[in-house]
Structures are given as structure tokens and as C-alpha cells.
Chain A
Amino acid sequence: MVLVRPLASGDSRDEYLDLRFRAFGPADSERVWADAEAAIANGSCLAAFDDGRLIGAAMYHDMRQWWLGEAVPLAGVAGVKVAPEYRSKGVGRALMASLIQLMADRGYLLSALYPATSPFYRSLGWELAGAVYEATVPARSLIERPRSVKSPALRRAGPADAAEVIAVLGRAHELARDCGPVTFDEQTVRRWLTAGRWAGQQRYAYLADDGFLAYAWSGGRHEISVDKLVAVSAETTSALWSMVASHASIARTIRVQAAPADPLWWLLREQDAEPAGGYGWMLRVLDARAAIAARGFPAVDIEIPMRIDDDQVAANTGSWMLTVRSGGGSLEPAAGKADKPVHFSVRGLAALYAGTPMAALRIAGLASGGTPESDIALDSAFATTAFMLDTF
């Protein structure tokens, strides 16, 4: 009999680490357990037990995801694992079904994850929404950029800067009207600025009034990996890239995350950046009405009848009227029988939310019904290329 309950501080650290290594391979024990302890404290890690033995776990991080100038509460699912001998027995499904309820109950409107396998998460309502785009650039290419006239003040970021780092990142994504990037909670960012992701040996973080840079040596001294370079102004963008470029005396290659519309592509003198893989992330809409109300939209004026089906979250299922007006959206129960509503599974809704064109949704079987006019209207309201700068 499998029992799903929150992982508690009395549960075995060794059993948890063993499960983690069996599922994802070798990792740093201290960092894995630090993540787990934070999730235990927040009640955001669920665990499955068989006769008292830990056989599965899944957690979420408390995040805000930026959607055209608005921050939407997002639960970032991570660490979903089932002991090998318990797989394909419904343990993962039971964990994730409980996690969906927990995330929804706690008021998260969206959930995102990086899938190890897609069909499983698709069956639970997640759909491919965006990607992390990685590229490598010869380090010397970064030197040959136009220099900015003004050089903003840069300082090394420490644990006490956690709130400011989050504020700076958020403001940059808000003003850029980015779709998809996330900010983490203060506790997590403070941890990263203390040791781990953004601090410690070979890992560095810098803060400006309107920008943030985190990077690390990777693979010895021949590569610098830029974890994050985000800024509001042209001056700070240029100054932060100059900092990275100054390593060209030693490093040959710079690994960066650059979405298709990242300023870096336009700042490079020559296009000698090469794609270096990337990861797709999936989105789930936990609360359709609230998620639409929380997203930013362009100034279109549309009214589209929709039918949404959601096996997991009953409240999302139904006939709705989507209205977008003056940069805001609303989803209200349809009054009476609508003419030619567009049909979405909750997966199709997630992909639409992330800006996937209606033509692609139809071919992929994620949308049906509606009219050519409603497709154009929906594309105008949602069009974007969603990206992230964090993996989790």
C-alpha cells in the first residue's frame, strides 16, 4: 500500500539521497539535501512510502514567472523520482496528482517543469511551452562589441543582496515584457549567494543598479559559463558583457543562455555564436481563470468563446468566454451556448498561454473548433516566444 504525504524532517536523509542518486545519477549530497530541507520546511515536497520505505518524491519551488510585464505565481516542479523497482506502478502518477492539488490549493496559478520524459507529464496536463536556449561564443567575439560610454557601478553580490537581486531581475523582465523567465524566492536566492549556484569557488555574481550577472568557470579554464546576464539599460548590458569578455585572455569559449530575442545576438559584431543545445520546459495551468487574469496581454480587443477540458483540475473544465481588453485578460463562465467555441485540452491551453501559434496547436491536435478569425485573434493576444534562464 503506497502512502503519499509531505516529506518531514524526521524522514531519513540517507534514504532520500539514495533515491535521488538512483533516479538522477551522482550529485553533491550537501546541495541535494539543502534543497530537500528547504522543501521540507515549506511543506513543498511530497514523498511516497511503501511499508515505511521511501520509494518516490516530488517537490516544487516557489517562483514568479514573468508574462508580458506581469509576475504570475508559479510552482516550479523538480526532483520527481520513483525508485526503479517501483516504476510503472502508478507511484509517480499518485505523487504528481497529489502535487497538482497541493500547488493549486496553495494558490499557484501555473506550474512548470523540465521533463525527463514527456508523455507522463502530458497525461497530467503539462505541455511544451518554451525552452532554455544555450549557445557558445568564441570569447574573443565578445570583445569586439561597441563599448558603452557610461560605465555603471558594479559590485560583488552577497547573501544580503538576495532581495535586491530578485527585484533587479524582476524589474528587467517586467520592463522587457519577457515571457517565461522566472525569479525564485528570497530564501533560495540567499542560499545561492552564500554557496552553490552563485557563490563559492569558481562561481561569481555581480550586481548593478539595474542588472545582474552570474557566471562560473566550467570545464577547467577554457570555458566561462554565464548563468545569468540580465539588465535593463543598454549601458549596464554592455558593461556586464564587458566583464565577461575580459576573461577572453584565458577562456576560449563563453557558454551563454540566449533566447532568440536576446540583445546579445544584435550586439555581436559577427554571428559566430553557435547553438549548444537547450532544454524544453512544460507548463501546466493550475487555475485557468486566475492565470488569464494575472498574465499581461497586448492591447488587443477580443472576445473568444472557449471550451476547456481538464481531467485533473475540475474547476478548469467548462465553457468560457475569454476577453482581452486594454492589456488585461479575463476568463468568465460562458453565458448560454456559444457560437463555434475553440476547444482546448488543458495542455493546449498551456501551449496557447505560452504563445504557441494556433496553426501549430491544430496540427499537433491541441486545439480544434473555432474559426479562422478566432485563430488570428488568439495569436494576436498570446504571440510570444517563451524562454527561461533557469533550469530546476
Chain B
Amino acid sequence: MADIVVRALTADDSRADHLDLSIRAFGPHDEAILRTLADPVIADGRGLAAFDGDRMVGTALFHDHRQWWLGKPVPMAGVSGVTVAPEYRGRGVGRGLMTALIDLMAARGYPLSALYPATMHIYRRLGWELAGARYEAKLPARSLLGLPRPAAMPQVRRPVPGDAAAVIAVIGAAHEQAGDCGPITWEERSMRRWLTPPGEYADSHRYAFLAPDGFAAYRWRGNNQIFVDRVLSTSPETVLALWSVIASHSSVADTVIAQVSPHDPLWWLLREQDAEVSQRDPWMLRLLDAPAAIAARGFRTVGIDVPLRITDDQLPHNGGLWNLTVRSSGEGRLVRTGTGASAQPPLVLGAGGLAALYAGTPLSTLRRAGLATDGTPESDAALDSAFAAAPYLLDGF
């Protein structure tokens, strides 16, 4: 690591070098995919690169997300594009990049960071822990024809780039109302790009529909599969109307693969249980600013008061003795305390345990996985009540 310099990735850095590194790391992909993801990040100073002299040997960047946690959007840095040139691996380049990225994300004020791990070990050591998954369900296309018909047909139209803000608002409203935990909304610039051909939601075989209170996006996978990116709405009629649009493809498509959570209404809407989870991509979470993350999250409406002792090697400001309170209004607070402030023994968590707790992992699981110790049975029950969630995501990044 001695001769390796980590600095901001800029528009002046070689695009060809960046693409070469990205393909060496992730396998074949188009430059267009890389540019779509990387350009807004570089423009906003959210990317880092490692250099050996003039040679780019590693990258790490993050997206500007809002992640929904029980009705509240929390600013979340979505880590992506973490690459190290194969011949530079195992020398601390990745760790150097990620350490710098943690500091950058924290300095930019993000309380949370999430990522999809290609390998978990490095991220666990840096304080990320498994939090949820992106699920795909597979079902026969004709099963969707058995869904109830909507009582009223809402206005459904094809969105255009100018609808970016409306799409984000509609997705956010659906997650807010449902009290979802985990799903994200992207910033407007990326959404506008995806709604502009050729984009994620507007391309030769990629489609989206917008209703006043709902959004659906899907695409062909070959000639006989439809991949459903998401179907979201605050209204039952619109959910049914959007699914009926997708169901109409069952004349040609055999199979539908849909990104849905384990609690998606689709499971209860299907006439028969012929859908099954076919893919599960886990994602990891890290708290960058523990008090801010707690203050920004929505909680179950229980009153709790629990002492915590947190250790965080990377971000010492998260460490120490804290008091976590949640009020029956669903608001949480994390306040620093001194030794002996509570008669109860504090629950002891590392950064990983804190992240998994935040994501609603039951304390019994945290204890059996070695992510939490001490505390009391009563504080376990209280924390489970306050944090209960089954987090998911509908976006890969």
C-alpha cells in the first residue's frame, strides 16, 4: 500500500482505464452501464480511486439514496463499483479505499451506508453487517390473470424524463405508507437518466408506467420471460391495474420474475401459491452516524429505554456508552451517557451488531451469531419490539 495514493475520482481521469478496471473486476459490460452509474457520482465528488503512479488500480464510489425505514427516508450512501485490479489484490488497496470512503460518506453527512457484497469478509471487518435482501419471485405468467380486477381503472401513462420527480415521489409515498424498511429512492438526476432512452426504464425492451399514485417498471428477458422491476402504489386499485398491465403479457411470456418483498401484497393476491423465491441477494448495512441514524428512523410505537455499549473501530464517534430511547410516538433517540448512568447492564454491540439491530434482526439471532452480548432478557424484548422489520430492496447498485 506504500506507493498507492487514494484520491477523488475526477472527470479528468481516463475513462478507458476506469472501464478496463471495471470489466476486469465485474466481467463483461458495456461502457454505457458504467457511465450511467459513474458519471453522476464523479460529477458530485462521490467517487474515489487508488493509483500506483499513473495507473488506476482501484475504485470505490457511492450513490446518493434515501432509504425508507418505517415511514421515514434516511439519507443513505449506497456503495458501489468497488474494484481492485487483480494483480493488486490482497495488498490492502481495497481496505485503503473503503476506509477513505467511510470517512468521505460520514463527512458528507450520511447516517447510513449499504452495499451488496461480492465478498463479505472485508466489509464485515469495516463495520457492515447483513441487513436484508433483494428478493426475486418466479411465477407462471398466467397466474397473474387470476388477480382480482381493479374496481376502478386509474389513469396509467408512459412516463417521460420530466416525470423523474413525480416517479420518485410516487415510489417514496408507497414505501412511506406501507411502513417499508429497506427500499430506496434514487436522486432525481439518476431517475431522469433512466427515463431517457436508452435508460433503465426506457429502452427497446424496457418499459415503465406511471399513475397518479403508482409506478410499475418491467422488461423482457428473452421472448418468454418478463422481469418486473417493481409494482408500487398507495392504492389497491392502482396496484391491481398495474399488475393487470403486466398480466396482459401472459399471452406471450411463460414466466414472470418479480422483485417483491416477503410481505408484498402479491403473495396474498395470487389465487394459488405458485410463486416462489428464486433469487435472494443479501445486502449489508453500516451506521456512519449512530445518533443521527436512530433519530432519522421510524420505530414501532413502543416506549423503551435501553443502555448500549457500542464499539466501532473505524468510526470512534459511534463508540461508547449510550442510552437508546424510543417513544410511543415512534421516535428514537440515542444519547451519550457515562458509566453507571443506568442500573441495567448495557447491551454490547460492535458496529456490525448495531447495523443488524437497526435492520430489525432479532436479538436472539444477534446473540447466536455472536453479534451481541450482555444486556438483559427484558432489553432484548424491548429492542425487538422497537426495531421489528423485514428489510428488503428493489434496486441493485
Contacts and interface: CB of A to CB of B under 8 A. Distances in A.
B370 interface: yes
B276 interface: yes
Query: Residue among B270, B364, B366, B384 with the most chain A CB within 10 A?
Result: B364
Interface string A211-227: 00000000000000000
A298 B367 contact: no
B142 to A, nearest CB: 15
Q: What interface size band does chain A fall in?
A: 35 or more
Contacts of B139: none
Nearest to B275: A280
A265 interface: yes
A104 to B, nearest CB: 24
A146 B239 contact: no
Given A119-B272, A361-B268, A365-B148, A266 B381 contact: no
A366 B179 contact: no
A349 to B, nearest CB: 13
A118 B236 contact: no
A278 interface: yes
Contacts of A379: 179, 300
B130 A266 contact: yes
B263 A363 contact: no
Q: What interface size band does chain B fall in?
A: 35 or more
Contacts of B130: 265-266, 271
B301 A376 contact: yes
A127 B268 contact: yes
A298 B300 contact: yes
A22 B279 CA distance: 34
A384 B362 CA distance: 10
Contact of A359 (B179, B273, B301, B370): B179
A380 B302 contact: yes
B177 A299 contact: no
Contacts of A115: 273
Nearest to B391: A260
Nearest to A361: B268
B388 A271 contact: no
A301 interface: yes
Instruction: Report whether over half of chain B's contact residues are helix, strand or loop; otherwise say mixed.
Output: mixed
Interface stretch (A57-65, A195-203, A231-239, A245-253): A231-239
B263 A275 contact: no
B122 to A, nearest CB: 11
A360 interface: yes
A380 B268 CA distance: 20
Interface in B339-370: 356, 361-362, 364-370
Contacts of A364: 236, 265, 268-269
Contacts, number: 153
Nearest to B384: A177
Interface string B293-315: 00000001111100000000000
Interface in B154-184: 177-179
B369 A298 contact: no
A110 to B, nearest CB: 18
Contacts of A366: 268
B212 interface: no
B362 A356 contact: no
A177 B362 contact: yes
Nearest to A274: B280
A383 interface: yes
A231 B365 contact: no
A6 B71 CA distance: 51
Nearest to A114: B273
B390 A260 contact: yes
Given A298-B388, A299-B302, A277 B328 contact: no
B117 interface: yes
Given A271-B117, A360-B264, A376-B330, A117 B272 contact: yes
A267 interface: yes
A301 B328 contact: yes
A344 to B, nearest CB: 13
B300 A271 contact: no
Given A298-B385, A360-B265, 4 more contacts: A233-B368, A261-B390, A298-B302, A377-B301
Interface of B: 71, 117, 119-121, 129-130, 133, 148, 177-179, 233, 236, 239, 262-265, 267-273, 276-280, 282, 300-304, 328, 330, 356, 361-362, 364-371, 377, 381-382, 384-385, 388-390
Instruction: Give the top 5 A-B pairs by smallest Cβ distance, nearest first.
Output: A298-B385, A364-B268, A266-B369, A176-B364, A359-B178
